[in-house]
Amino acid sequence: MADTLTITDNRTGKQYQVPIEHGAIRAMDLRQIRTSPDDFGLMTYDPAFQNTASCVSRITYIDGDKGVLLYRGYPIEQLAERSTFLETAYLILFGELPTAPELTAWTNEITLHTMLHENIKKLMEGFQYDAHPMGIFLSTVGALSTIYPDAKRIQDEDVRRLQVLRLIAKVPSIAAYAYRHSIGRPYVYPDNDLSFTGNFLNMLFKMTELKYRPHPILERALDVLFILHADHEQNCSTSAMRGIGSSQADPYSSLAGAAAALYGPLHGGANEAVLRMLKEIGSVQHVPAFIKKVKGGDGRLMGFGHRVYKSYDPRARIIKQTADLVFSVTGRNPLLDIALELERIALEDEYFVSRKLYPNVDFYSGLIYQAMGFPLDMFPVLFAIPRTSGWLAQWDEMLRDNEQKIARPRQIYSGAAPRDYVPSEQRKPR
Ligand code: CMC
Protein backbone atom coordinates (compact mmCIF):
# COMPACT_ATOMS: atom_id res chain seq x y z
CA MET A 1 0.00 0.00 0.00
CA ALA A 2 1.26 3.47 -0.89
CA ASP A 3 2.20 5.79 2.01
CA THR A 4 -0.61 8.12 2.97
CA LEU A 5 -1.34 10.74 5.57
CA THR A 6 -4.73 10.62 7.27
CA ILE A 7 -6.11 14.02 8.18
CA THR A 8 -9.16 14.54 10.36
CA ASP A 9 -10.83 17.91 10.03
CA ASN A 10 -12.24 18.76 13.47
CA ARG A 11 -14.44 21.43 11.92
CA THR A 12 -16.44 18.90 9.88
CA GLY A 13 -15.44 15.53 11.35
CA LYS A 14 -14.41 14.39 7.84
CA GLN A 15 -11.31 12.28 7.19
CA TYR A 16 -8.98 12.58 4.19
CA GLN A 17 -6.21 10.34 2.86
CA VAL A 18 -3.38 12.32 1.31
CA PRO A 19 -0.61 10.46 -0.60
CA ILE A 20 2.98 10.86 0.62
CA GLU A 21 5.67 10.79 -2.09
CA HIS A 22 9.39 11.52 -1.61
CA GLY A 23 8.64 12.45 2.02
CA ALA A 24 6.22 15.18 0.97
CA ILE A 25 2.52 15.74 0.51
CA ARG A 26 1.21 17.88 -2.32
CA ALA A 27 -0.13 21.17 -1.02
CA MET A 28 -2.87 21.02 -3.69
CA ASP A 29 -4.16 17.79 -2.09
CA LEU A 30 -5.19 19.91 0.90
CA ARG A 31 -7.48 22.07 -1.20
CA GLN A 32 -10.21 19.39 -1.03
CA ILE A 33 -10.42 19.98 2.73
CA ARG A 34 -13.28 22.45 3.05
CA THR A 35 -16.03 23.32 5.47
CA SER A 36 -18.59 24.11 2.73
CA PRO A 37 -18.74 24.05 -1.11
CA ASP A 38 -17.90 27.76 -1.30
CA ASP A 39 -14.94 27.44 1.09
CA PHE A 40 -11.65 28.01 -0.84
CA GLY A 41 -10.08 24.94 0.77
CA LEU A 42 -7.10 24.44 3.06
CA MET A 43 -3.79 26.12 2.22
CA THR A 44 -0.33 25.82 3.75
CA TYR A 45 1.36 28.87 5.29
CA ASP A 46 5.15 28.81 4.95
CA PRO A 47 6.85 32.21 5.08
CA ALA A 48 10.38 32.03 3.64
CA PHE A 49 9.64 28.52 2.28
CA GLN A 50 11.23 26.83 5.27
CA ASN A 51 9.42 23.55 4.69
CA THR A 52 8.13 23.68 1.13
CA ALA A 53 9.66 21.91 -1.88
CA SER A 54 8.89 23.92 -5.00
CA CYS A 55 10.28 21.47 -7.56
CA VAL A 56 11.68 18.03 -8.17
CA SER A 57 15.32 18.47 -9.15
CA ARG A 58 18.10 16.14 -10.30
CA ILE A 59 20.94 18.64 -10.08
CA THR A 60 22.25 19.15 -6.55
CA TYR A 61 21.80 17.12 -3.37
CA ILE A 62 22.48 18.48 0.11
CA ASP A 63 22.27 16.59 3.38
CA GLY A 64 22.38 19.50 5.79
CA ASP A 65 22.79 17.38 8.92
CA LYS A 66 25.69 15.34 7.59
CA GLY A 67 27.34 18.17 5.65
CA VAL A 68 27.03 16.38 2.27
CA LEU A 69 26.96 18.21 -1.06
CA LEU A 70 26.69 16.36 -4.38
CA TYR A 71 26.47 17.75 -7.91
CA ARG A 72 24.64 15.20 -10.07
CA GLY A 73 25.69 12.56 -7.53
CA TYR A 74 29.39 13.45 -7.41
CA PRO A 75 30.76 14.53 -3.99
CA ILE A 76 31.94 18.14 -3.93
CA GLU A 77 35.25 17.01 -2.38
CA GLN A 78 36.08 14.87 -5.44
CA LEU A 79 35.09 17.57 -7.90
CA ALA A 80 37.12 20.20 -6.02
CA GLU A 81 40.14 17.93 -6.06
CA ARG A 82 39.95 16.52 -9.56
CA SER A 83 37.64 18.52 -11.81
CA THR A 84 37.82 21.97 -13.36
CA PHE A 85 35.14 24.65 -13.23
CA LEU A 86 34.21 24.27 -16.91
CA GLU A 87 33.93 20.50 -16.60
CA THR A 88 31.80 20.88 -13.46
CA ALA A 89 29.59 23.43 -15.22
CA TYR A 90 29.04 20.89 -18.02
CA LEU A 91 28.16 18.24 -15.42
CA ILE A 92 25.70 20.52 -13.68
CA LEU A 93 24.08 21.62 -16.93
CA PHE A 94 23.93 18.34 -18.83
CA GLY A 95 23.84 15.74 -16.07
CA GLU A 96 27.02 13.75 -16.87
CA LEU A 97 30.75 14.41 -16.83
CA PRO A 98 31.86 15.11 -20.41
CA THR A 99 33.98 12.63 -22.34
CA ALA A 100 37.36 14.02 -23.43
CA PRO A 101 36.08 15.10 -26.91
CA GLU A 102 32.93 16.59 -25.35
CA LEU A 103 35.03 18.59 -22.90
CA THR A 104 37.26 19.91 -25.69
CA ALA A 105 34.23 20.90 -27.77
CA TRP A 106 32.53 22.53 -24.75
CA THR A 107 35.69 24.48 -23.83
CA ASN A 108 36.04 25.68 -27.43
CA GLU A 109 32.41 26.71 -27.60
CA ILE A 110 32.66 28.73 -24.38
CA THR A 111 35.90 30.32 -25.60
CA LEU A 112 34.15 31.50 -28.78
CA HIS A 113 31.67 33.55 -26.77
CA THR A 114 33.88 35.44 -24.31
CA MET A 115 33.81 38.78 -26.18
CA LEU A 116 31.29 41.47 -25.25
CA HIS A 117 29.50 43.60 -27.82
CA GLU A 118 31.21 47.02 -27.94
CA ASN A 119 27.91 48.69 -27.06
CA ILE A 120 27.88 46.77 -23.78
CA LYS A 121 31.32 48.15 -23.02
CA LYS A 122 30.05 51.68 -23.71
CA LEU A 123 27.03 51.06 -21.52
CA MET A 124 29.30 50.04 -18.67
CA GLU A 125 31.33 53.22 -19.12
CA GLY A 126 28.21 55.16 -18.07
CA PHE A 127 28.41 53.93 -14.48
CA GLN A 128 29.91 56.15 -11.79
CA TYR A 129 33.58 55.39 -11.08
CA ASP A 130 32.64 54.15 -7.59
CA ALA A 131 29.60 52.10 -8.65
CA HIS A 132 29.43 48.76 -6.82
CA PRO A 133 30.61 46.09 -9.33
CA MET A 134 27.66 43.87 -8.40
CA GLY A 135 25.27 46.69 -9.42
CA ILE A 136 27.16 47.00 -12.70
CA PHE A 137 27.17 43.23 -13.13
CA LEU A 138 23.48 42.65 -12.70
CA SER A 139 22.50 45.67 -14.80
CA THR A 140 24.80 44.59 -17.62
CA VAL A 141 23.60 40.99 -17.60
CA GLY A 142 20.04 42.34 -17.89
CA ALA A 143 21.10 44.64 -20.74
CA LEU A 144 22.40 41.63 -22.70
CA SER A 145 18.76 40.69 -23.35
CA THR A 146 18.54 43.75 -25.64
CA ILE A 147 21.57 42.56 -27.63
CA TYR A 148 20.20 39.02 -28.01
CA PRO A 149 16.44 39.32 -28.61
CA ASP A 150 16.48 35.75 -30.00
CA ALA A 151 16.87 34.64 -26.37
CA LYS A 152 13.13 35.17 -25.92
CA ARG A 153 12.51 31.91 -27.79
CA ILE A 154 12.94 29.93 -24.63
CA GLN A 155 10.99 26.89 -25.85
CA ASP A 156 13.63 26.23 -28.52
CA GLU A 157 16.33 23.95 -27.06
CA ASP A 158 19.03 25.15 -29.49
CA VAL A 159 18.29 28.78 -28.67
CA ARG A 160 18.49 27.97 -24.95
CA ARG A 161 21.83 26.23 -25.40
CA LEU A 162 23.25 29.22 -27.25
CA GLN A 163 22.29 31.57 -24.40
CA VAL A 164 23.87 29.16 -21.90
CA LEU A 165 27.15 29.35 -23.83
CA ARG A 166 26.95 33.11 -24.12
CA LEU A 167 26.17 33.66 -20.46
CA ILE A 168 28.79 31.32 -19.01
CA ALA A 169 31.41 32.78 -21.36
CA LYS A 170 30.50 36.44 -20.89
CA VAL A 171 29.95 36.76 -17.14
CA PRO A 172 33.73 36.78 -16.41
CA SER A 173 34.20 39.48 -19.08
CA ILE A 174 31.44 41.60 -17.52
CA ALA A 175 32.87 41.07 -14.04
CA ALA A 176 36.39 41.99 -15.17
CA TYR A 177 35.17 45.08 -17.03
CA ALA A 178 33.22 46.16 -13.95
CA TYR A 179 36.42 45.87 -11.90
CA ARG A 180 38.62 47.70 -14.40
CA HIS A 181 36.00 50.44 -14.64
CA SER A 182 35.97 50.89 -10.87
CA ILE A 183 39.73 51.48 -10.78
CA GLY A 184 39.88 53.49 -14.00
CA ARG A 185 42.00 51.04 -15.96
CA PRO A 186 41.43 50.22 -19.65
CA TYR A 187 39.47 47.08 -20.45
CA VAL A 188 41.42 43.97 -21.33
CA TYR A 189 40.08 41.76 -24.10
CA PRO A 190 39.81 38.00 -23.51
CA ASP A 191 42.84 35.84 -24.21
CA ASN A 192 41.45 32.57 -25.47
CA ASP A 193 44.76 30.71 -25.12
CA LEU A 194 44.24 30.77 -21.38
CA SER A 195 41.94 28.63 -19.25
CA PHE A 196 38.53 29.94 -18.21
CA THR A 197 39.92 31.12 -14.87
CA GLY A 198 43.32 32.11 -16.28
CA ASN A 199 41.64 34.35 -18.83
CA PHE A 200 39.50 35.90 -16.11
CA LEU A 201 42.64 36.78 -14.13
CA ASN A 202 44.11 38.17 -17.37
CA MET A 203 41.11 40.44 -17.93
CA LEU A 204 41.33 41.63 -14.33
CA PHE A 205 45.02 42.13 -13.76
CA LYS A 206 46.88 42.47 -17.10
CA MET A 207 48.90 45.66 -17.35
CA THR A 208 51.42 46.42 -20.09
CA GLU A 209 52.92 42.96 -20.50
CA LEU A 210 52.36 41.42 -23.95
CA LYS A 211 51.08 38.16 -22.52
CA TYR A 212 49.54 37.75 -19.08
CA ARG A 213 50.56 34.55 -17.33
CA PRO A 214 48.44 33.66 -14.30
CA HIS A 215 50.16 32.14 -11.29
CA PRO A 216 49.22 28.44 -11.56
CA ILE A 217 48.43 28.11 -7.83
CA LEU A 218 46.15 31.17 -7.83
CA GLU A 219 44.54 30.09 -11.11
CA ARG A 220 43.77 26.66 -9.66
CA ALA A 221 42.57 28.11 -6.33
CA LEU A 222 40.10 30.37 -8.09
CA ASP A 223 38.95 27.46 -10.23
CA VAL A 224 38.32 25.41 -7.07
CA LEU A 225 36.35 28.30 -5.56
CA PHE A 226 34.30 28.45 -8.76
CA ILE A 227 33.58 24.70 -8.51
CA LEU A 228 32.41 25.14 -4.90
CA HIS A 229 30.05 27.98 -5.85
CA ALA A 230 28.60 26.46 -9.03
CA ASP A 231 25.24 25.36 -7.62
CA HIS A 232 23.46 24.98 -4.31
CA GLU A 233 19.92 23.83 -5.13
CA GLN A 234 16.91 26.00 -4.22
CA ASN A 235 18.55 28.97 -2.46
CA CYS A 236 17.29 32.55 -2.63
CA SER A 237 18.90 33.49 -5.98
CA THR A 238 18.10 30.17 -7.65
CA SER A 239 14.49 30.51 -6.56
CA ALA A 240 14.55 34.01 -8.08
CA MET A 241 15.93 32.56 -11.34
CA ARG A 242 13.23 29.93 -11.45
CA GLY A 243 10.54 32.39 -10.35
CA ILE A 244 11.36 34.99 -12.99
CA GLY A 245 11.98 32.31 -15.62
CA SER A 246 8.57 30.81 -14.87
CA SER A 247 6.97 33.88 -16.47
CA GLN A 248 8.89 32.87 -19.64
CA ALA A 249 11.21 35.88 -19.41
CA ASP A 250 14.46 35.50 -21.37
CA PRO A 251 17.45 34.07 -19.42
CA TYR A 252 19.37 37.38 -19.29
CA SER A 253 16.47 39.10 -17.52
CA SER A 254 15.98 36.12 -15.22
CA LEU A 255 19.69 35.97 -14.41
CA ALA A 256 19.78 39.70 -13.65
CA GLY A 257 17.09 39.02 -11.03
CA ALA A 258 18.99 36.04 -9.65
CA ALA A 259 22.15 38.15 -9.36
CA ALA A 260 20.14 40.84 -7.56
CA ALA A 261 19.00 38.22 -5.03
CA LEU A 262 22.60 37.06 -4.60
CA TYR A 263 23.75 40.62 -3.88
CA GLY A 264 22.14 40.72 -0.42
CA PRO A 265 24.36 40.32 2.67
CA LEU A 266 22.43 37.27 3.88
CA HIS A 267 23.26 35.46 0.62
CA GLY A 268 26.18 36.07 -1.79
CA GLY A 269 26.95 39.45 -0.27
CA ALA A 270 27.98 37.65 2.92
CA ASN A 271 31.59 37.15 1.77
CA GLU A 272 31.99 40.92 1.49
CA ALA A 273 30.21 41.40 4.82
CA VAL A 274 32.56 38.90 6.52
CA LEU A 275 35.62 40.91 5.52
CA ARG A 276 34.03 44.16 6.67
CA MET A 277 33.22 42.44 9.98
CA LEU A 278 36.79 41.13 10.41
CA LYS A 279 38.16 44.61 9.70
CA GLU A 280 35.74 46.13 12.20
CA ILE A 281 36.79 43.62 14.89
CA GLY A 282 40.35 44.66 14.15
CA SER A 283 42.30 42.28 16.38
CA VAL A 284 42.08 38.87 18.06
CA GLN A 285 41.69 40.52 21.49
CA HIS A 286 38.41 42.11 20.39
CA VAL A 287 36.84 38.78 19.35
CA PRO A 288 35.19 37.89 22.73
CA ALA A 289 33.53 41.32 22.91
CA PHE A 290 32.25 40.94 19.36
CA ILE A 291 30.83 37.48 20.08
CA LYS A 292 29.11 38.90 23.18
CA LYS A 293 27.54 41.65 21.05
CA VAL A 294 26.22 39.12 18.52
CA LYS A 295 24.81 36.93 21.29
CA GLY A 296 23.08 40.00 22.68
CA GLY A 297 21.21 40.32 19.38
CA ASP A 298 23.32 43.18 18.01
CA GLY A 299 24.21 42.00 14.49
CA ARG A 300 25.12 38.57 13.18
CA LEU A 301 28.31 36.63 12.89
CA MET A 302 28.58 36.91 9.11
CA GLY A 303 29.69 33.75 7.32
CA PHE A 304 28.06 31.62 10.00
CA GLY A 305 24.80 29.69 9.84
CA HIS A 306 22.83 28.27 6.98
CA ARG A 307 19.21 27.47 6.25
CA VAL A 308 20.07 23.93 5.18
CA TYR A 309 23.45 23.03 6.74
CA LYS A 310 23.15 22.25 10.41
CA SER A 311 26.75 21.04 10.51
CA TYR A 312 30.04 22.23 9.01
CA ASP A 313 29.48 23.42 5.41
CA PRO A 314 31.64 21.02 3.34
CA ARG A 315 32.58 23.90 1.05
CA ALA A 316 34.01 25.87 3.98
CA ARG A 317 36.25 22.92 4.83
CA ILE A 318 37.68 22.82 1.29
CA ILE A 319 38.08 26.60 1.19
CA LYS A 320 40.08 26.51 4.41
CA GLN A 321 42.56 24.10 2.77
CA THR A 322 42.66 26.22 -0.40
CA ALA A 323 43.43 29.29 1.72
CA ASP A 324 46.69 27.72 2.92
CA LEU A 325 47.79 27.17 -0.70
CA VAL A 326 46.91 30.73 -1.70
CA PHE A 327 48.65 32.24 1.32
CA SER A 328 51.81 30.28 0.42
CA VAL A 329 51.92 32.50 -2.69
CA THR A 330 50.43 35.77 -1.51
CA GLY A 331 51.51 35.78 2.12
CA ARG A 332 49.14 35.20 5.02
CA ASN A 333 46.09 37.41 5.25
CA PRO A 334 46.44 39.11 8.66
CA LEU A 335 42.67 38.89 9.16
CA LEU A 336 42.93 35.08 9.16
CA ASP A 337 43.86 35.03 12.86
CA ILE A 338 40.69 36.93 13.74
CA ALA A 339 38.61 34.50 11.62
CA LEU A 340 40.23 31.46 13.25
CA GLU A 341 39.62 32.85 16.73
CA LEU A 342 35.99 33.67 15.89
CA GLU A 343 35.49 30.12 14.64
CA ARG A 344 37.22 28.61 17.68
CA ILE A 345 35.09 30.52 20.17
CA ALA A 346 31.85 30.13 18.23
CA LEU A 347 32.26 26.36 17.88
CA GLU A 348 32.55 26.05 21.68
CA ASP A 349 29.88 28.59 22.60
CA GLU A 350 26.45 27.36 23.70
CA TYR A 351 24.65 30.08 21.68
CA PHE A 352 26.16 28.89 18.38
CA VAL A 353 26.27 25.18 19.26
CA SER A 354 22.61 25.00 20.28
CA ARG A 355 21.54 26.79 17.10
CA LYS A 356 23.83 24.62 14.98
CA LEU A 357 25.63 27.63 13.55
CA TYR A 358 28.82 26.63 11.72
CA PRO A 359 31.05 28.46 9.22
CA ASN A 360 29.52 28.55 5.75
CA VAL A 361 31.10 28.96 2.32
CA ASP A 362 31.45 32.71 2.75
CA PHE A 363 33.41 32.67 6.00
CA TYR A 364 36.85 31.98 4.49
CA SER A 365 36.36 32.73 0.76
CA GLY A 366 36.72 36.50 1.24
CA LEU A 367 40.12 36.06 2.93
CA ILE A 368 41.36 34.28 -0.20
CA TYR A 369 39.86 36.83 -2.56
CA GLN A 370 41.43 39.65 -0.59
CA ALA A 371 44.84 37.96 -0.55
CA MET A 372 44.56 37.53 -4.34
CA GLY A 373 44.12 41.29 -4.71
CA PHE A 374 40.36 41.63 -5.18
CA PRO A 375 38.68 44.64 -3.60
CA LEU A 376 35.88 43.76 -1.17
CA ASP A 377 33.04 44.84 -3.39
CA MET A 378 34.13 42.37 -6.09
CA PHE A 379 33.44 39.41 -3.80
CA PRO A 380 29.73 38.92 -4.59
CA VAL A 381 30.59 39.16 -8.30
CA LEU A 382 33.10 36.34 -7.84
CA PHE A 383 30.22 34.28 -6.46
CA ALA A 384 27.91 35.19 -9.37
CA ILE A 385 30.33 34.02 -12.09
CA PRO A 386 30.27 30.29 -11.25
CA ARG A 387 26.70 30.37 -9.92
CA THR A 388 25.62 31.37 -13.43
CA SER A 389 26.04 27.71 -14.46
CA GLY A 390 23.80 26.57 -11.60
CA TRP A 391 21.15 29.21 -12.29
CA LEU A 392 21.05 28.20 -15.95
CA ALA A 393 20.87 24.47 -15.18
CA GLN A 394 17.98 25.08 -12.78
CA TRP A 395 16.23 27.35 -15.29
CA ASP A 396 16.57 24.76 -18.04
CA GLU A 397 15.32 22.02 -15.74
CA MET A 398 12.30 24.12 -14.84
CA LEU A 399 11.41 24.72 -18.49
CA ARG A 400 11.51 20.98 -19.17
CA ASP A 401 9.33 20.17 -16.16
CA ASN A 402 5.68 19.66 -17.20
CA GLU A 403 4.51 20.23 -13.64
CA GLN A 404 5.89 23.78 -13.50
CA LYS A 405 3.76 26.84 -14.21
CA ILE A 406 4.18 30.53 -13.52
CA ALA A 407 5.29 30.82 -9.88
CA ARG A 408 2.53 32.48 -7.94
CA PRO A 409 2.30 31.94 -4.17
CA ARG A 410 -0.89 32.45 -2.21
CA GLN A 411 -1.27 34.85 0.69
CA ILE A 412 -3.30 35.10 3.86
CA TYR A 413 -4.97 38.48 3.73
CA SER A 414 -5.05 40.34 7.03
CA GLY A 415 -5.75 43.88 5.81
CA ALA A 416 -8.77 46.15 6.06
CA ALA A 417 -12.29 44.85 5.49
CA PRO A 418 -14.15 46.44 2.50
CA ARG A 419 -14.76 50.16 3.10
CA ASP A 420 -15.90 53.21 1.09
CA TYR A 421 -13.67 55.89 -0.38
CA VAL A 422 -13.69 59.16 1.63
CA PRO A 423 -12.81 62.53 -0.08
CA SER A 424 -9.60 64.05 1.33
CA GLU A 425 -11.34 67.03 3.02
CA GLN A 426 -13.54 64.65 5.01
CA ARG A 427 -10.72 62.40 6.26
CA LYS A 428 -10.11 62.49 10.00
CA PRO A 429 -6.52 63.01 11.26
CA ARG A 430 -4.94 59.70 12.33
N1 CMC B 1 24.98 34.96 13.81
C2 CMC B 1 24.27 34.97 14.97
N3 CMC B 1 23.09 34.36 15.13
C4 CMC B 1 22.58 33.72 14.06
C5 CMC B 1 23.27 33.66 12.83
C6 CMC B 1 24.51 34.31 12.74
N7 CMC B 1 25.19 34.29 11.59
N8 CMC B 1 22.52 32.94 11.94
C9 CMC B 1 21.43 32.57 12.60
N10 CMC B 1 21.46 33.02 13.88
C11 CMC B 1 20.49 32.76 14.94
C12 CMC B 1 19.23 33.59 14.74
O13 CMC B 1 19.31 34.82 15.42
C14 CMC B 1 18.18 32.68 15.32
O15 CMC B 1 18.26 32.74 16.72
P16 CMC B 1 16.92 32.68 17.62
O17 CMC B 1 16.35 31.32 17.37
O18 CMC B 1 17.38 32.92 19.01
O19 CMC B 1 16.04 33.79 17.10
C20 CMC B 1 18.67 31.28 14.92
O21 CMC B 1 20.09 31.40 14.80
C22 CMC B 1 18.07 30.77 13.61
O23 CMC B 1 18.32 31.77 12.61
P24 CMC B 1 17.38 32.07 11.37
O25 CMC B 1 17.58 33.49 10.97
O26 CMC B 1 16.00 31.60 11.67
O27 CMC B 1 18.02 31.08 10.30
P28 CMC B 1 17.75 31.13 8.75
O29 CMC B 1 17.79 29.75 8.28
O30 CMC B 1 16.55 31.94 8.44
O31 CMC B 1 19.02 31.98 8.24
C32 CMC B 1 21.09 32.60 7.30
C33 CMC B 1 20.09 31.44 7.53
C34 CMC B 1 22.22 32.10 6.44
C35 CMC B 1 20.37 33.73 6.56
C36 CMC B 1 21.61 33.08 8.69
O37 CMC B 1 22.27 32.03 9.35
C38 CMC B 1 22.51 34.30 8.58
O39 CMC B 1 22.00 35.42 8.54
N40 CMC B 1 23.86 34.09 8.49
C41 CMC B 1 24.78 35.22 8.29
C42 CMC B 1 24.81 35.60 6.83
C43 CMC B 1 25.56 34.59 6.00
O44 CMC B 1 26.66 34.15 6.35
N45 CMC B 1 24.98 34.24 4.83
C46 CMC B 1 25.60 33.31 3.87
C47 CMC B 1 24.87 32.02 3.80
S48 CMC B 1 25.75 30.72 2.95
C49 CMC B 1 26.01 31.25 1.32
C50 CMC B 1 24.84 31.80 0.62
O51 CMC B 1 23.68 31.40 0.78
O52 CMC B 1 25.05 32.70 -0.20
Summarised one tens digit per residue, pLDDT across range 199-252 is 999 999 999 999 999 999 999 999 999 999 999 999 999 999 999 999 999 999
Q: CB pairs under 8 A, 24+ apart, for 143-152?
A: 143/252, 144/120, 144/170, 144/252, 145/250, 145/252, 145/253, 145/256, 147/117, 147/119, 147/120, 148/250, 148/252, 151/250, 151/251, 151/252, 152/250
Q: What is the mean pLDDT of residues 397-412?
A: 97
Q: Is the CB of 361 under 6 A from ligand 1?
A: yes
- State the Cα–Cα distance between residues 111 and 373, nearest whole angstrom: 25
Q: Is the CB of 360 under 6 A from ligand 1?
A: yes
Contact yes or no for 374/333 (Cβ under 8 A)? no
How far is ligand 1, taken at its centre, from the CA of residue 306, in Å? 6
Contact yes or no for 44/390 (Cβ under 8 A)? no
Q: What is the mean pLDDT of residues 90-110?
A: 98
% residues pLDDT > 90 (the chain)? 95
Q: Could you report the per-residue pLDDT of 323-373, keeping only the tens digit for each?
A: 999 999 999 888 999 999 999 999 999 999 999 999 999 999 999 999 999
Q: Is the CB of 113 under 6 A from ligand 1?
A: no
Q: Is the CB of 342 under 6 A from ligand 1?
A: no
Residue 348's φ and ψ, nearest 5 degrees, are -105, -10
Among 304, 315, 317, 352, name the best residue to mutate to test ligand 1's pocket (greatest count of ligand atoms within 8 A of Cβ).
Answer: 304
Residue 187's φ and ψ, nearest 5 degrees, are -70, 150
Query: What pLDDT is recorded for position 276?
Result: 93
Flag whether pLDDT at 129 surpasses 90.
no
Residues 6+ away with beta carbon under 8 Å from 210: none
Known catalytic residue: 306? Answer: yes
Q: Could you report the per-residue pLDDT of 16-47, keeping only the tens digit for each?
A: 999 999 999 999 999 999 999 999 999 999 99
Query: What pLDDT is recorded for position 421?
Result: 98
- State the Cα–Cα distance between residues 137 and 373, nearest whole angstrom: 19
- Atom index in ligand 1 nearest the CA of residue 306 equals 34
Q: Mean of the per-residue pLDDT values for the chain?
A: 96
- State the Cα–Cα distance between residues 255 and 263, nearest whole angstrom: 12
Task: Select from 177, 149, 125 the least CA-distant residue to 385.
Answer: 177
Query: What pLDDT is recorded for position 334?
Result: 86
Query: What pLDDT is recorded for position 2?
Result: 85
Judge residue 70's burial from the number of C-beta atoms within 10 Å of its C-beta, 0-12 exposed, 13-18 middle, 19 or more buried.
middle
Q: Is the CB of 263 under 6 A from ligand 1?
A: no
- Atom index in ligand 1 nearest the CA of residue 383 equals 52
- Atom index in ligand 1 nearest the CA of residue 274 equals 44
Q: What is the mean pLDDT of residues 146-162?
A: 97
Query: What pLDDT is recorded for position 171?
Result: 98
Known catalytic residue: 22? Answer: no
Query: What pLDDT is recorded for position 242?
Result: 98
How far is ligand 1, taken at its centre, from the CA of residue 319, in Å? 20
Q: Is the CB of 307 under 6 A from ligand 1?
A: yes
Task: Select from 83, 89, 74, 77 the least CA-distant residue to 388.
Answer: 89
Q: What is the mean pLDDT of residues 285-292?
A: 96
- Which of 132, 181, 229, 306 does the annotation list as catalytic? 306
Judge residue 416's burial from the number of C-beta atoms within 10 Å of its C-beta, 0-12 exposed, 13-18 middle, 19 or more buried.
exposed
Q: What is the mean pLDDT of residues 291-317?
A: 94
Flag whether pLDDT at 1 surpasses 80.
no
Rounded to 5 degrees, what angle do the CA atoms 248, 253, 256 make?
A: 135
- State the Cα–Cα distance between residues 408 and 132, nearest whole angstrom: 31
What's the whole-model pTM score? 0.95
Query: What pLDDT is recorded for position 429?
Result: 94
- Atom index in ligand 1 nearest the CA of residue 48 equals 30
Measured CA to CA in angstroms, residue 402 lies from 75, 286, 328, 376, 406 at distances of 29, 55, 50, 42, 12
For ligand 1, atom 46, the nearest C-alpha belongs to 267
Confidence of residue 69 (pLDDT cuts 50, 70, 90): very high
Q: Is the CB of 295 under 6 A from ligand 1?
A: no
Known catalytic residue: 396? Answer: no
| DSSP β-bridge partners for residue 60 | 71
Q: What is the mean pLDDT of residues 397-421?
A: 97
Contact yes or no for 231/203 (Cβ under 8 A)? no
